Amino acid sequence: MAAKYFIRNITAGLSRATVSSQNAFKRFPLITNFLLTNRQVFTACPVGIEDKHNRLVVHWKESLTDEYPLVWLRDNCQCSACFNQSSQSRTINFSQFQLNQTLRHLAISDNNVEIHWEDGHKSAYDFKWLRQRSFHQKEQQNWLKTNKELYKTWDADCFKRIPVFDFKGVMQEDNILLDWLETLGVWGVCLIKNAPHGLGQVGSLAKRVAFVRKTHYGEEFSVQAKADATNVAYTQGHLQLHTDLPYYEYKPGINLLHCHIQYNGNGGNSLLTDGFKIAEKLRENDPETYKYLVETKVTWSDIGQENGNHFHKIHHAPVICESDDGTIRRINYSQPQRDSHMVVPIDQVEKWYRALKNFYDLATDARYLIEFKLKPGEMVTFDNLRILHGRTAFGENLKGERHVQGAYLDWDEARSRIRVLKTKLLGN
Amino acid sequence: MAAKYFIRNITAGLSRATVSSQNAFKRFPLITNFLLTNRQVFTACPVGIEDKHNRLVVHWKESLTDEYPLVWLRDNCQCSACFNQSSQSRTINFSQFQLNQTLRHLAISDNNVEIHWEDGHKSAYDFKWLRQRSFHQKEQQNWLKTNKELYKTWDADCFKRIPVFDFKGVMQEDNILLDWLETLGVWGVCLIKNAPHGLGQVGSLAKRVAFVRKTHYGEEFSVQAKADATNVAYTQGHLQLHTDLPYYEYKPGINLLHCHIQYNGNGGNSLLTDGFKIAEKLRENDPETYKYLVETKVTWSDIGQENGNHFHKIHHAPVICESDDGTIRRINYSQPQRDSHMVVPIDQVEKWYRALKNFYDLATDARYLIEFKLKPGEMVTFDNLRILHGRTAFGENLKGERHVQGAYLDWDEARSRIRVLKTKLLGN
């Protein structure tokens, strides 16, 4: 099955808001909602302020009231003695901090409220700053959402609608870089076209975001057939669907794969499945399998050497990892890197294999599996905590000179870049 | 309070086992137990083998019986068609894998058992290999233990008994490198003396293990007073107890700090507390505070720039993070890097500050806090998921030329190195 993509135009000089309103809204309802949430504007204009029950109560123009605990206000005093502007850090010595704070009086101006504390200290709080830190649950949740993309799962059909980016655009335009990173956060996968010829493109892309996340395979690694392969990826065989490096407790979050040389004959096709979609489907239709895959820890391992450096990684984690709120947050799956040690009660072993087979059968089902052949200059970039990827067999006897170069990037760094870009482009 | 340390002798040519039996056993009961577990030897000599209820049943000489599910045996066939020796990986195509496996007959030799499967495939299993993969719960748990050090907490008094290592010894002798890494795993902290003069020593040490874990502060970072400090560590003020980088979801695991230049006057002393000990004490004596610190997520953040690269990191996590089995696994605490956004129901804010204060008061209590002054050439190396560290104020007006250089290392890489060294030195 060959998927079709379209390239998002490089719209140099066109603002991000304009790009979004012209193209993106219909295609990506989730991204749209996400950005709109971010753009909410409050007037932050109070009509009344009072001190009540150890809280500062602010009545806003919009008939809305916010309350702020005095202890929190004192802890977050923004004066130069309590807060270091250049490092944007609280400097109050917590050993001497008083939990019982009382205020003497308030001084209110157009933009802020100044609290005169009983001990003589004064703290000023900008109204907009206060409004953004509302303790209303809904607004706390909205703020949380702006810090992490809400993912949207895809199947084989939906995959075709995920945007494709232009390498030069991502490298040169901040709004396109932001679009690419947010698309990765929401959809978990993105193709990038028109990368220059030659090695080193994945490193350049990683550095455009932050820097490469190094592993025992190095910074930029070459996926090509080798004699005495230290990894099954370095063979010409069929590479079954997997996530990379499940044996890392700190598994690299984003995988960048650049096709440098493609195999000329049949084969060498890329395979992709959305692991979050598979997990969701199991949760819906086969809750027993889902539960088993969430509750059973698997031993993932990798033993070998790369450039003379020996490694022996082990990590115990389920195939489907949930956050404490039940959100699916990480998929671990790799047939070659599942250890022969199995820490499961013997009575559950058969059941365990059945659950794993159900998972894999669904992941390789035509409804969810995408297959396409990368051309030289094309990149597939994806969330390694989520997407299963693989490759069909190609060539023979190390003669198929297919060469893909890869590098990893961590979500910590990518999300940091998203926030910095949003502040720069959207003024958040 | 000044702590006293002793340096472990460099015992070149002396085997690790000898070192352990001469010195370490009395001092470190936990390390000792840990090593003994690893050294357990099985004869792996069967007196009878049978096929029963889809399992291979092996009766060992020691009146012990192991059972192995046939589906697991087939999945772990070690033949060259099913297992790639050079990458130490399973290559069986899981799409075609049969869950119902039946065997035709067994062929038994001195060292292994060969299974002839119904479909004609043959698989041979070495007895020792089988014995090591016993499905008895106790042995599974023993195997798990060998892959992660069991930590032992310390207070101010106990700290003095933690061994101190010699830089040259760690750099040149594999058995000392292993001792240092295991001590870090068990105690969470280690001093290293006699590092050569000059910068770059933390990088050399990290590379001796694997490689530096890079963050937005770079690979090797200098902790010294600077104008317009991007981090409160880069000032001359008192640096309150904290863990580094709590705003990273993937928080670097090991902190290496090398004293390059020490301040000549009073101040610039290092402060250390075992965060796991503090958490344990709270769990014991103040379970309500403990519960609150485990259940309430805090917003940790860092906004700024380093070498022109802007960052904005955010991570939501409790002060005390437990594993799913209730083990304490990570401490997050940093007064400057606790965000002013607080996602807690307003009714719980006061209670939250009380819990945090209880935690910090205990962490700075003389029973648990260690204070000492590093000399040039000394390093403090510690588990950043566990140990709180700080520094007393020193000098004035950027004139105190104290210079400490730091670098991070991840536990994934350090534990990998421990396993590789154990295989090399102990033949596990």
- For chain B, list the domains and their CATH numbers: 46-143 (3.30.2020.30), 156-423 (3.60.130.10)
Chain B residues with CB inside 8 Å of A210's CB? 216, 309, 311
Per residue in A314-342, pLDDT tens? 999 999 999 988 999 999 999 999 999 99
Q: Do A313 and B412 touch (CB under 8 A)?
A: yes
Q: Do A69 and B248 touch (CB under 8 A)?
A: no
Higher pLDDT, A19 or A210: A210
Q: Is A214 on the interface with B (CB under 8 A)?
A: yes
Distance CA A23, CA A18 (A): 9
**Residues B221, B225, B229, B234, CA torsion sign:** positive
Per residue in A235-289, pLDDT tens? 888 999 999 999 999 999 999 999 999 998 999 999 999 999 999 999 999 999 9
Q: Do B311 and A335 touch (CB under 8 A)?
A: no
Q: What is the pLDDT, as a whole number, of residue A397?
A: 64
Distance CA A239, CA B328 (A): 38
The pairing of beta strand B189-193 with beta strand B164-166: parallel
- CB-based contacts of A328, cutoff 8 Å, min separation 6: A276, A279, A280, A320, A321, A322
Query: Chain B, 189-208: which have a CB under 8 Å from a chain A CB?
Result: none
Q: Do A240 and B93 touch (CB under 8 A)?
A: yes
Q: Do A90 and B336 touch (CB under 8 A)?
A: yes
- Least Cα distance to B320 among B343, B290, B288 occurs for B290
Residue among A335, A369, A410 with most chain B CBs within 10 A, to mutate: A335
Q: Do A135 and B346 touch (CB under 8 A)?
A: yes
C-alpha A333: how far from chain center: 18
Per residue in A292-307, pLDDT tens? 999 999 999 999 998 8
Query: Chain A, 221-250: which have a CB under 8 Å from a chain B CB?
Result: 228-232, 234-235, 237-238, 240, 248-250
Distance CA B343, CA A10 (A): 39
Cα of B375 to nearest chain A Cα, Å: 26
Q: What is the pLDDT, as a whole number, of residue A42?
A: 57
| Secondary structure (3-state) at A395 | coil
Checking if the pLDDT of B38 tops 50, the result is: no
Q: Which residue of B has its CA nearest to A219?
A: B211
Average pLDDT over residues B133-162: 91
Cα of B72 to nearest chain A Cα, Å: 8
Distance CA A9, CA A409 (A): 25
Q: Is A99 on the interface with B (CB under 8 A)?
A: yes
> How is residue A261 written in tokens?
């040389």
Whether this model's ipTM surpasses 0.95 comes out as: no
Weakest-pLDDT range from A51-55, A169-173, A274-278, A300-304: A51-55
Per residue in B88-105, pLDDT tens? 899 999 999 999 999 999
Chain A residues with CB inside 8 Å of B54's CB? 350
The secondary structure element, H or E, covering residue B83 is strand B83-84
Strands (E), B244-332: 254-261, 270-274, 298-306, 309-317, 320-322, 328-331
Q: Which amino acid is at A159?
A: F
Q: Do B410 and A87 touch (CB under 8 A)?
A: no
Question: Order of strands across the sheet with A112-117?
Answer: A103-108, A112-117, A122-126
- Least Cα distance to A392 among A1, A57, A105 occurs for A1
Q: What is the pLDDT, as a whole number, of residue A231?
A: 76
- Least Cα distance to A69 among A59, A81, A54 occurs for A54
Chain B residues with CB inside 8 Å of A423's CB? 312
The rounded percent of chain A whose pLDDT value lies above 90 is: 76
Q: How confident is the model at residue B33 (pLDDT cuts 50, 70, 90)?
A: very low
Distance CA A52, CA B392 (A): 39
Distance CA B153, CA B376 (A): 28
Checking if the pLDDT of B209 tops 90, the result is: yes
Q: What is the pLDDT, as a whole number, of residue B13?
A: 31
Across the A:B interface, residue pairs with CB atoms under 8 Å apart total 212
Average pLDDT over residues B320-329: 94
Q: Is A137 on the interface with B (CB under 8 A)?
A: yes
Weakest-pLDDT range from A128-137, A165-174, A218-227, B389-398: B389-398
Compute the mean pLDDT over every residue in chain B, rounded to the nearest whole number. 88
Compute the mean pLDDT over every residue in chain A, rounded to the nearest whole number. 88
Q: Is B217 on the interface with A (CB under 8 A)?
A: no
Per residue in A76-91, pLDDT tens? 999 999 999 888 899 9
**Residue environment code for A221-242, b if the CB has 16+ CB neighbours within 10 A, otherwise e:** bebbbeeebbbbbbbbbbbbbb
Q: Is A416 on the interface with B (CB under 8 A)?
A: yes
Cα of A175 to nearest chain B Cα, Å: 16
Cα of A257 to nearest chain B Cα, Å: 21
Q: Do A232 and B89 touch (CB under 8 A)?
A: yes
Average pLDDT over residues A343-356: 96
Average pLDDT over residues B141-162: 90
No. of H helices and E strands in chain B?
14, 22
Task: Tell me how many degrees the CA angle A411-A412-A417 measures, rounded to the nearest 5.
Answer: 90
**Residue environment code for B355-376, b if the CB has 16+ CB neighbours within 10 A, otherwise e:** bbbbbbebbbeeebbbbbbbee
Checking if the pLDDT of A22 tops 80, the result is: no
Chain A residues with CB inside 8 Å of B341's CB? 132-133, 140, 143
Average pLDDT over residues A188-207: 97
Chain B residues with CB inside 8 Å of A342's CB? 72, 133, 135
> How is residue B132 written in tokens?
């090591």
Higher pLDDT, B387 or A400: B387
Distance CA A342, CA B76 (A): 11
Per residue in A373-418, pLDDT tens? 999 999 999 999 999 999 999 887 666 689 999 999 999 999 999 9
DSSP state letters, A77-105: --STTTEETTTTEE---GGG--S---EEE
Checking if the pLDDT of B350 tops 70, the result is: yes
- CB-based contacts of A209, cutoff 8 Å, min separation 6: A177, A181, A409, A413, A414, A417
| Secondary structure (3-state) at B139 | helix
Q: What is the pLDDT, as a whole number, of residue A17?
A: 31
Weakest-pLDDT range from B140-144, B402-406, B414-418: B140-144
- CB-based contacts of B70, cutoff 8 Å, min separation 6: B51, B54, B55, B56, B101, B102, B103
Cα of A358 to nearest chain B Cα, Å: 10
Q: What is the pLDDT, as a whole number, of residue A313?
A: 97
Distance CA B77, CA B175 (A): 34
Q: Do B143 and A343 touch (CB under 8 A)?
A: yes
Q: Which residue of A has its CA nearest to B424?
A: A310
Q: What is the pLDDT, as a whole number, of residue B288?
A: 97
Neighbours of A428 (CB within 10 A): 12
Distance CA A173, CA B375 (A): 49
Chain B residues with CB inside 8 Å of A93's CB? 238, 240
Query: Chain A, 113-132: which have a CB under 8 Å from a chain B CB?
Result: 132
Q: What is the pLDDT, as a whole number, of residue A230?
A: 75
Residue among A67, A211, A215, A250 with most chain B CBs within 10 A, to mutate: A250
Q: How confident is the model at residue A428 (pLDDT cuts 50, 70, 90)?
A: low
Q: Do B314 and A248 touch (CB under 8 A)?
A: no
Q: Do A228 and B86 touch (CB under 8 A)?
A: yes
Weakest-pLDDT range from A3-7, A381-385, B180-184, B192-196: A3-7
Least CB–CB distance from A412: residue in B69, B231, B313: B313
Distance CA B112, CA B132 (A): 13
**Residue environment code for B379-404, b if the CB has 16+ CB neighbours within 10 A, otherwise e:** bbbbbbbbbbbbbbbbbeeeebebbb
- Tell me the sheet residues that pair with A222: A405
Higher pLDDT, A85 or B280: B280
Q: How confident is the model at residue B12 (pLDDT cuts 50, 70, 90)?
A: very low
Strands (E), B96-232: 103-108, 112-117, 122-126, 164-166, 189-193, 221-223
Residue among A298, A350, A356, A361 with most chain B CBs within 10 A, to mutate: A350
Q: Do B311 and A420 touch (CB under 8 A)?
A: yes
Q: Do B412 and A250 touch (CB under 8 A)?
A: yes
Distance CA B135, CA B253 (A): 32
| Secondary structure (3-state) at A177 | helix
Note whether B363 and B388 are within 8 A (CB): yes
> How is residue A72 written in tokens?
């929190």
Alpha helices in B56-136 (DSSP H): 70-75, 127-132
